[in-house]
Structure formats: structure tokens, C-alpha cells
A and B are shown apart, each in its own frame.
Chain A
């Protein structure tokens, strides 16, 4: 969606590159980091960390408030934060978490395990706050003492750990008096994070000052965060190019030419491939996509090298046959024989597979089902998402060469999403679900427990594929607390995915991050990959790692 105006921006860029204009830029005061993550024309003062993620201002989830553990997606590990350690007890039915000592709320009251128990209790009584669905597997949360909290599980469900530790914690002494925590705008937050003081709030700009009582000694070194309101991606990009913004998470077309070249010593970007993988989903309840050979053939027909070049300015790479993004770079990979790799571009083998599946070619070269119906399909995509539209065009052309009459059909976003949710499509582009382990990712790609009949809304598994083997592995995963054994099960899940080809991975999405080192240093980079560099990675607290690592440069 933030790509809609990319074309018009590109036009402007051509004009920009021709000139090198010097301009008097109104810099933010020294030590104030200017961030652009949300695109709004005016700000609404909402710092409620419990309601839907998009409602509250960006720093609320990871900056003002903090989760129990931070997930570092570059190293694929949890970093102790408000919690310092955890252990599984009573046959993995109880998770005991030890909270950090010496943490103060920004109003000076101590943070304790009771705040944690209170937060989870609040979510229990307000289902609208249960963003991660934790009360689908929990039965009770109790503080044992000021530093210990026990999570009692309804059933053994190890992956629930990731959702529990990602929860932002609110102070009991404030929130116990709030009548309706769902619509509470929390205008003056009391929190544990590095930036808690609202120094300024206007509809075009707001500033968050540092928390004077932050538990990490001497941090943050950044004095305040400033957020100017930019209503569009173009406008935010221009601000970035002209040094008005220090840190951003936008899509920038042709970034080397547009951004880096202007000031190579300070303009940097790093796009690690830690986003969700983009898939081509074929509806597996409809013939011939119920045949694994057909799905593999479709996949082998796609020239992914061309696709990432045409659709994504080469910001990504062709997906691996397991579909996993670089978040799982440290997880073991199965040995896959050359001929079993159906993510490799091989039109001859694709043709052979379709012949074998009994989809012969008619007189005009178009293939047809055994009953004579020609293979004529639409690939659904969203109008205005230019990367997806271009990717679909590449796919349609490649499938055409295979004898499948595929055409691209763009829909308005909502219309498209409804068709996808209800499974009323032959082929569509779509994203996949992120998580610290491959459990969530594979569950929504191939678990029979997530399959709903066509016409009924299904929030995941849109292609409606159920695998018995996958369900066994996923079930084993649910009760496996040992990280080493988990990785073995991850291996098993990858093998099942490669054998059954439930969906066709195209490319992992990059995590967008641009930064300007003229005023601050210490951003994650390819040379110093200490965390994901993108301000968009706030769901599991990762931006906290960056905010606490930045240092202002002293002006000469």
C-alpha cells in the first residue's frame, strides 16, 4: 500500500538526481532523533499499549512500554528484558518467569511480577486486548512473589511462550483504575521503557523525552524522539533524502541512486530478508491444484531471478524451497537433492510433470483437464501494490509458456482480501505469518486443523491445505520445550513442506530500514548486525535494541 505512489515518486526522483541543490535544512536540535515509521497527516494522542497495534503511536509497543523478552530476529534469539529468566515446570504445564529487579515505572514506583500478573488478568477480562490469543491456551497467571510469576497452561503448548513474552506490561497502580482499557487513550503514559515523557504533542509533530528512571544505567543516550507527520510515502522519502529524518522504515525505489548517492558517507540502508515470505497460493481444494505434481510444476515454471529483479529492484532473492526467510538462517536446513528442489527454474521438468499429471495440450497449445476443461485461471492481486502486480505479470507469462492460460486480475484491496479469506480464488499472491519459530509459519501453511471449507472465512491457510504428517510434527512441536529437539522438529516440518508443496514460495520480504549517520551512530548494519535495523519490527520489541544502542554525534 505504501507503494502506490512509488511511480510518481520515481518521476520526481529523475528530476532530483539531475540537480544537487544545497538547502538550508531545519535540523532537529542536537540529540533529538527524528523517526518516520507511521504515515499520517496528523497525530492522534494514543499511547495505549494493549489495544490493536496500529491504533497507538509507533513507540508505544517498544519504546514507551516494554515486553518481557525481546526477540532478535537477526540472531533468532530472545534477549532478557523485563524478564531475566524462565523455566518450564510440572511437565511443561507451568511457565515460571523471573522478572528483573530494580526496574522502576517512570513515576518512581517499582515494577514487580504483580504488574505482569495484573496485565495478563486485564487481557483475560477484555478479549479485545488479547492480540496474541494467549487466553486460548492459558488457564491462569499468578504472581508467586514480587519477582516470580507463574503461567498455568490449559494444555501443553510450548509455542505459546513466544506470545506470552512478547506482551507489553502495564503498571497495576494506574491501570486498575481505568474503566475501559480498550478505549483508554493513555495520553500521559507511565511505563518502563527508555522514552516515556511526552515533551510535545501537536497534530503535526510530537516528541518523546527520555525516561529519567530508565533501568539501563546511562541509557538511552538519545535525548528525545521526534515524529513529524508525513501523509505519504513520497513525502517521507523526500524528508529522508533531504536529511530531515534520521531513521525510517519506508520502501524507497532505486535506493542506491535516490538516497545513498546523495551523501554516501551518511546515507545508509540495510534490508535484511527477515520479513514474511510472499507466496503464490493455488487453491488446493480445486482441481488440478489438489495434485502435488501440478503445484511443483507451477513452481518450477516461475523464473524467480527475473521476478525479484522486475518486481523488487533486486531487494530480495528467490525463495528457498522450504519457504523460510532469513529469520531462520540459524535453523538447520534439510539436505535437498537437486531434482527434489521444485523452487528451481526448470521449464522442461515442469512440462514433464504436467504431462505426467494427465494435463495434455490441446491443438492451440493450452493444456486441459482430463475432462477437456482448458486450464484458464486468474492470478489475483491488489491494485496499487505495484510489486505484487509486477510479480503476478511475470508469473502469468511463465505459466503461459507452460500451456496454462493465466491472466492477472487486480482487485481493490478489501475486495481481494475478502476473496482470499473465503478461499474463493484459483491462484492469488499472499503473505505468510512471521514468528520466532517455524511453528506459526508452517501451521498456517499446511495444518489440517486450520482448514475451513470454501466460502467460510479463514484468517490463514487461504489455499486450504491440510497434511496429516504436518499435523503430527506440529503436535510434537507443541510439547517440545528443548531448543535442540525443536530444531529437529523444524527440520521435519521443512521436509514435509518440501515433499508436499502446499504453497509456492516466491521471495522473502525485506525488512525496510534507512538511516542517516550524520547526527547519530550505532545503527545496525550488515557489518554490525546486532539486530534488525527496521523501525517496523516493533511487534516483539526489537526496536528497543536499536533505540538503546544509538549515540548522538557531537557537532564539531
Chain B
């Protein structure tokens, strides 16, 4: 219990530090939202507009430190302000539009990639120098080495344009009415296949390799030899003795990956016109949209912290040694 409380205290501190950084970092960037918007028009907006823009976005001359406390107060009340890039929508609403799709898209991709990659890692470590072990890791690493942007474009071109098997973008067809009908869900899946497949394709190699390498180390250890000597079934040795222990580093990686899911897979979302979080973040940075940046960063931070907390608990279950220190 003490262990859990200590972890919780640590996470609270981390959350505060993140909130503070979220506030100050965007403001260290040169320029302000009004200038960013003004310049986007490249001369089509007269110089007089700048003052109106400053008024609109409520840019004040108040000292940064007092702005900081106002911000903290608002955040505690759950008020994240109004977005500049998507004026005048409240930040929470803007984030809400992208969040669902990002969680679905990137979340599925991470889980699928982790599951398949780890299983393949186990398989290739067990049958070392087998057909899978010889070809799969090198092929996947080879594919993973391509710039993702390029790979996704080629996949989109071949499967989307030339063959027409998959839609070219968006999360569902323009003519669909969102709802829990079978046709709509089928459409969502059809639209998600290419983005998820490309992400899985390039990340699979990493999971596979990390699992395979720890597995090989674990398979050489004394307790695995003992288990084999006892005459346990190979299945039991692999799954209960080796894989469970070899999983620990991968679980950490999985927790991190899960946390970063909410940051959105920027390139995926751009190539496949997917209405997610990553693109919102780029828009926020481009427009110097402080409130939106703060909101998105906060969501990412909370997600990473939450995922870590989860990993901590999973560790308690996977590794009895951590329970000893509790």
C-alpha cells in the first residue's frame, strides 16, 4: 500500500511539473497568436487587423507570473479556455473531436502491433535459426527503416488509388451518418485498415526484436534449464517461465507507447486525412494557439502518467520482487 501511495504522490508532482511546463514552454516561442494569424494571410489582411486580432484573442500585457496563476486556477476548475486556431470553440470541445478517433486508430495499432510483435518474438526465439527467425526480423526491420511518410503514401497509392480496395482518407465515408449501425461500423473499419496496417507494419519489428532478444537471454538462464530438466511441457516452459519474465521490458515500452497514443500519430493522420489529435497539435503549434497546446499537452501528459501507473500495477502482478518492496 505504501508503494502505491508513494507512486501516487510522485505522479501528482509530475502532473504539476507538466502543467507548469505546458504553460511556459509555448510562451517561450517567439511571436504570438495574432502575429501568426496575421502572417498567414501574406498581405491579404491589412496591418490594421493586427490590433483587432490581439483584442479577439484577449492577449494581455499582464505579467507572465500572474497569468500563470490565473491559468492554474482555470485548469483546476476544468476551464481550458478558447482555442485560437479553431476560434471560438472551447479547447475541450476541439480536443474532443479528435480524441475518439486517435484513441481508436493509434490505440488499436499499438495493441495489435504489440501483441503480434511480442508473439512473433517468442516464436522466433524459441525456434532459433528456424524459418521465421531467419527471415521475419530482418524483413520487418528493413520495412521499418523506410520513412513512414513514404511507405504510407505508396500503400495509399497502390491499395487506395490503383486498386481502389480501400478509401483514400477520412475516418468514415462522407455520405455516412455516424451511429451504431452495422454499416457505419463496417465503414469505419474499412477506413481504418490502411492507417492501422501501415503503423503496425513499421512498428512490428521493434516489438519483435526486443522480445526476441530478452527471450534468448532468459532462455539461457538456470531456472529455464531447470524447468526443462523437470520435463515440463515446452509450451509451459515458454509461456510460464520464459515469456512472462522476458515480457517485463516490453511492458514498459508498451506503457510508454500507449501513453503517447494520445499525442496522435501525426504522419498517419496527415497521409490518410484522419481527423485525429496529432493534426490538431500541429495546427496548435503553427497558430501559436496557447490554450489548445496546453490542453493537448495536458491530455498527453495525463495519458503517459496514467499508462505508467498502469504499468506499475502490471509489474506488481508480473514480477513478485516488486511486491517485496511494497
Contact = CB atoms under 8 A, between A and B. Distances in A.
Same complex for A and B? Answer yes
Interface of A: 1, 8, 11-12, 15-16, 19, 21, 23-24, 26, 40-42, 44, 46, 48, 51-55, 127-133, 136, 163, 182-185, 202-205, 228-232, 235, 238-239, 242, 275-276, 413-415, 417-419, 421, 431-435, 440, 444, 459-460, 509, 536, 539
A52 B287 CA distance: 13
Contacts of B82: 183
Residue from A21, A23, A52, A509 having most chain B Cβ neighbours under 10 A: A52
Given A433-B47, A435-B46, A229 B39 contact: no
Given A23-B164, A130-B52, A182-B88, A204 B43 contact: no
B139 interface: no
A455 to B, nearest CB: 14
Contact of B29 (A19, A235, A414, A419): A414
Contact of A21 (B29, B48, B56, B162): B162
Nearest to B37: A54
A127 B178 contact: no
Nearest to B157: A15
Contact of B47 (A19, A41, A129, A444): A444
B161 interface: yes
Given A52-B56, A231-B273, A444-B47, A203 B97 contact: yes
B67 interface: no
A46 B87 contact: yes
B51 A202 contact: no
Contacts, number: 172
A431 B42 contact: yes
Residue from B39, B86, B98, B286 having most chain A Cβ neighbours under 10 A: B39
B128 interface: no
B275 A204 contact: yes
Nearest to B94: A44
B174 interface: yes
B40 interface: yes
Contacts of B178: 202
Contact of B168 (A46, A131, A238): A238
A417 B31 CA distance: 7
A413 B39 contact: yes
A128 B98 contact: no
B204 to A, nearest CB: 24
Nearest to B82: A183
Given A23-B164, A128-B52, A417-B35, A185 B43 contact: no
24 contacts: A12-B157, A24-B164, A40-B283, A41-B98, A44-B86, A51-B87, A52-B37, A128-B56, A130-B48, A130-B51, A131-B52, A132-B48, A183-B82, A204-B172, A204-B174, A229-B170, A229-B275, A231-B269, A232-B270, A413-B286, A415-B30, A433-B43, A434-B44, A539-B44
Contacts of A19: 162
A433 B37 contact: no
Contacts of A23: 161-162, 164
Nearest to B93: A44
Contacts of B153: 8, 11-12
Contacts of A539: 44-45
A480 B199 CA distance: 64
A52 B275 contact: no
B227 to A, nearest CB: 52
Contact of B55 (A46, A128, A136, A239): A128
A11 B50 CA distance: 38
Contacts of B186: none
Interface residues of B, number: 61
Interface of B: 29-31, 35-53, 55-56, 82, 86-89, 94, 97-98, 149-150, 153-154, 157, 161-162, 164, 168-175, 178, 269-271, 273-276, 279-280, 283, 286, 288
B161 A52 contact: no
A185 B83 CA distance: 13
A8 B270 CA distance: 13
A36 B3 CA distance: 56
Contacts of A418: 30-31, 35
B89 A44 contact: yes
A414 B41 contact: no
B52 A433 contact: no
Given A41-B279, A133-B51, A431 B43 contact: yes
A164 B39 CA distance: 23
A432 B43 contact: yes
Given A132-B46, A204-B172, A434-B43, 5 more contacts: A51-B87, A127-B51, A276-B42, A413-B286, A417-B30
Contacts of B53: 52, 128
A183 B55 CA distance: 12
A163 B86 CA distance: 26
A228 to B, nearest CB: 6
Contacts of A128: 52-53, 55-56
B273 A414 contact: no
A440 B55 CA distance: 23
A43 to B, nearest CB: 9
B35 A421 contact: yes
A23 B166 CA distance: 12
B276 A41 contact: yes
Contact of B48 (A8, A26, A133, A432): A133
B171 A204 contact: yes
Contact of A41 (B38, B50, B161, B280): B280
Nearest to A55: B87
Contacts of A16: 157
B153 to A, nearest CB: 6
Contacts of B41: 53-54
Contact of B35 (A136, A232, A414): A414
Contacts of A53: 41, 45, 49
A26 B160 CA distance: 13
B275 A203 contact: yes
**Nearest 4 CB-CB pairings of A with B:** A133-B48, A276-B43, A414-B31, A128-B55
A131 B273 contact: no
B195 to A, nearest CB: 13
B129 to A, nearest CB: 38
Contacts of A509: 42
Contacts of B283: 40-41
Contact of B39 (A42, A185, A417): A417
Contacts of A434: 43-44
Nearest to B31: A414
Contact of A414 (B30, B55, B154, B279): B30
Nearest to A420: B39
A269 B223 CA distance: 73
A460 B51 CA distance: 13
Nearest to A277: B43
A18 B46 CA distance: 44
B36 to A, nearest CB: 6
A313 to B, nearest CB: 18
Contact of B88 (A185, A205, A413): A185
A40 B153 CA distance: 19
A498 B41 CA distance: 27
B30 A55 contact: no
Contacts of A182: 56, 88
A536 B154 CA distance: 31
